[in-house]
Amino acid sequence: MAAGERTAPVALVTGSSSGIGAAVARRLAEARFRIVVNSVRSVEDGEKLAASLPDAVYLRADVSVEAEAGQLVADAVEHFGRLDLLVNSAGRTRTIPHTDLAAATPEVWREILALNVIGTWQTTVAAMPHLMASGSGAVVNISSIAGSRPAGSSVPYAVSKAAIEHMTRLLAAAVGPRVRVNAVAPGLVETPWIRDSPFFAPIAQKVRESTPLRRVGLPEDVAEAVLGLAGAAYTTGQVLLVDGGAHLI
């Protein structure tokens, strides 16, 4: 490995075997980051993605489990020798109408919050000493337009994203100036899991008809925003909407 390759920045992208996370991993690799691909279920997809990138490794871990989140970070640093960027993309949801209060059981809440909120927190805490040592460390969290509007696939999911956005601001204030913390909040993005959802088609049609950019988002749109925030040296504590202008309607 050449000296320049050894000093190239390292990005850990959680939940990156498919969808937005995979697009983020690919875009960062194009920008000469060395990549840690992660998932808990789609192991084969994650391994294939890592193998397709110039300098990447796949590490399986469930970041909702504290010990596994910590080990993921430790293994990433052991493999590459450093960590410069953490992208918290791992998340889950359930499709539950907001009016169906009974269906949003405590078990559903615990499942969603455990990964989306607590998983984001404990992975960030584990990564923070390494990000501080980087000299230009950054965190980019993946939120959703549902974090600031009464929208989203379920109430627990929307609440989890609101929590991530406030966590972003609180962390930015706590760890600056050594580490920057920002978030990207996508609108409707066509990913494999959402494409088959019963609510996708009608919402997609509304987006195409009424938003200023007249199209549904792509994972690559979010990835470009993540890359921008990763390099935005004077930006922290921000939540960047990537929604084609849906917030304007």
Selected catalytic residue, list 157, 165, 167, 200: 157
pLDDT in tens, the chain (249 residues): 444 556 899 999 999 999 999 999 999 999 999 999 999 999 999 999 999 999 999 999 999 999 999 999 999 999 999 999 999 999 999 989 999 999 999 999 999 999 999 999 999 999 999 999 999 999 999 999 999 999 888 999 999 999 999 999 999 999 999 999 999 999 999 887 777 777 788 888 988 999 999 999 899 999 999 999 999 999 999 999 999 998 988
pTM above 0.85, yes or no: yes
- Concerning whether 58 is annotated as a catalytic residue, the answer is no
d(CA 129, CA 222): 27
Residues near 235 by Cβ (< 8 Å), separated by ≥ 6? 180, 182, 229
Reported in sequence order, the residue ranges of 108-178 that DSSP labels E, i.e. its strands, are: 137-142
Task: For domain 3-189+218-241, give the CATH superfamily.
Answer: NAD(P)-binding Rossmann-like Domain (3.40.50.720)
What are residue 242's DSSP bridge partners? 186
**Residue 222: enclosing H or E segment and its boundaries?**
helix 219-230
